[in-house]
Amino acid sequence: MKINPKKYLLDIDCYSKEEILQIINDSKIMMEILNRKVKKIPTLRGKTIVTLFYEPSTRTRISFEQAGKILNADVINIATKESSSNKGESLLNTILTIQSIKADLIIIRHPHAGAPYFLAKNSEIPIINAGDGSHAHPTQSLLDLYTIHNNIGQIENLNIVMVGDILYSRVARSNILGLSILGANITLCGPKTLIPNEFLSKSQLFNNITFEHSLKKAVNNADIVMPLRIQLERQSSGHLPNLEEYSKHWCITNDILKFAKPSVKILHPGPMNEGIEISSEVAHGSKSLIKEQVTNGVAVRMALLYSMLNSESKMSLEE
Ligand code: CP
């Protein structure tokens, strides 16, 4: 456990390649704890973690709560609909209030890109970005990197294909950064209306990233295929004729995966729209790592909480 403690995790590029590899390594240790019969260690006893989610979440929120509780932290979940933000309190004043009750770390999800950056500039408390608009979702990216590394043993030079709504996907943005830092080859595939312009032609800036319009060509020789949910809640209009049309061209099915490497693995950040971006057979089939991603998310978040809150003293991972 040698990560330099960070006060803020705003996006994955807060970490260097070496630090990301260290988190992957530390997550393996945390996975051993997660698999124990009694999964509880006293490491973060006396620390208080607050989750503050202004957008819905299943996986991210409960896995942070699970991670904090296994490490013996106290975890307070704020339901923003029932908080004073509903009475007009500003985001900054909400954070300053949480700071005043002596919380040690805030995990925030917010619909506005940049909200966690604003808070990092204007408050003292450590912050983890659990998703800000279409911008970034660094802990999802770290758990994806961990899952790939744990299954294949490396990330460098792998062929990773992301399919679908890249434009509005914070997971895609953080994964493009994380996979690039670790040296993967990235292919983006989907309707041109859902691919950011800078990725449509290969440029010096992104020389490890290719856009491929044909799904069959995109998955050719793929090690990992990652379909993304269409973020209907973020789209204004006009990006797609309709979802049936989308699934006819871009849905990841067993037939499409015949064009990939026989060893290809499937990741999906969730929540899934089965039958739209991924078939049920693929989602729950032998190539799918989707359930494993969720389990890995707890171990990765344990490693992060440990690294961010445990800087003052050397503590034990013993029960
Ligand atoms: N992957 C992800 O962020 O899922 P939730 O929205 O359920 O947290």
Mapping DSSP onto H, E and C, the string for 46-91 reads CCEEEEEECCCCCHHHHHHHHHHHHCCCEEEEEEHHHCHHHHCCCH
Structural element, H or E, at residue 280:
helix 280-283
- Domain enclosing residue 116, as ranges: 8-136+295-309
Work out the pLDDT band at 231, boundaries 50, 70, 90.
Answer: confident
Residue 223 is assigned to a structural domain of this protein: yes
Residue 317 is assigned to a structural domain of this protein: no
Q: pLDDT tens for residues 19-44?
A: 999 999 999 999 999 999 999 999 99
Whole-number Å distance, alpha carbon 270 to ligand 1 midpoint, is 6
The pLDDT, as a whole number, for residue 202 is 65
Q: pLDDT tens for residues 57-107?
A: 999 999 999 999 999 999 999 988 878 888 889 999 999 999 999 999 999
Q: Same domain, yes or no, for 301 and 285? A: no
pLDDT average, residue stretch 257-274: 96
Q: Whose CA is closest to 106, among 82, 76, 84? A: 76
The CA distance from 123 to 227, in Å, is: 36
The CA distance from 115 to 110, in Å, is: 7
Q: Same domain, yes or no, for 24 and 73? A: yes
Do 163 and 5 contact (CB within 8 A), yes or no?
A: no
The pLDDT, as a whole number, for residue 143 is 98
| Phi, psi angle pair for 113, to nearest 5° | -60, 135
Do 292 and 266 contact (CB within 8 A), yes or no?
A: no
How high is the mean pLDDT of the chain? 92
Q: Same domain, yes or no, for 273 and 183? A: yes
Ligand 1 probe mutation, 64, 134, 139, 140, most atoms within 8 A of CB:
140
Fill in the amino acid letter for 63.
S
pLDDT average, residue stretch 109-130: 95
Q: Same domain, yes or no, for 146 and 287? A: yes
pTM value? Answer: 0.94
Residue 3 is assigned to a structural domain of this protein: no
The length of the chain, given as a count of residues? 319
The pLDDT, as a whole number, for residue 5 is 63
The pLDDT, as a whole number, for residue 251 is 97
Looking at per-residue pLDDT, the higher value among 200 and 132 belongs to 132
Q: pLDDT tens for residues 283-312?
A: 999 999 999 999 999 999 999 999 999 865
Q: Which atom of ligand 1 is nearest to the CA of 269?
A: 1
Q: Which atom of ligand 1 is nearest to the CA of 130?
A: 3
Do 150 and 296 contact (CB within 8 A), yes or no?
A: yes
The pLDDT, as a whole number, for residue 85 is 83
Q: Same domain, yes or no, for 162 and 275? A: yes
Q: Same domain, yes or no, for 146 and 122? A: no
Q: Which atom of ligand 1 is nearest to the CA of 137?
A: 3
Identify the bridge partners of residue 161 per DSSP, sorted by sequence position.
Answer: 187, 225
Q: Same domain, yes or no, for 144 and 92? A: no
Fill in the amino acid letter for 36.
R
Do 67 and 303 contact (CB within 8 A), yes or no?
A: no
Identify the bridge partners of residue 105 per DSSP, sorted by sequence position.
Answer: 49
Is beta strand 224-227 parallel, antiparallel or unpaired with respect to 105-110?
unpaired
Q: Same domain, yes or no, for 36 and 131? A: yes
Do 43 and 315 contact (CB within 8 A), yes or no?
A: yes
Q: Which residues line ligand 1 (CB under 6 A)?
A: 57-60, 131, 137, 140, 269-271
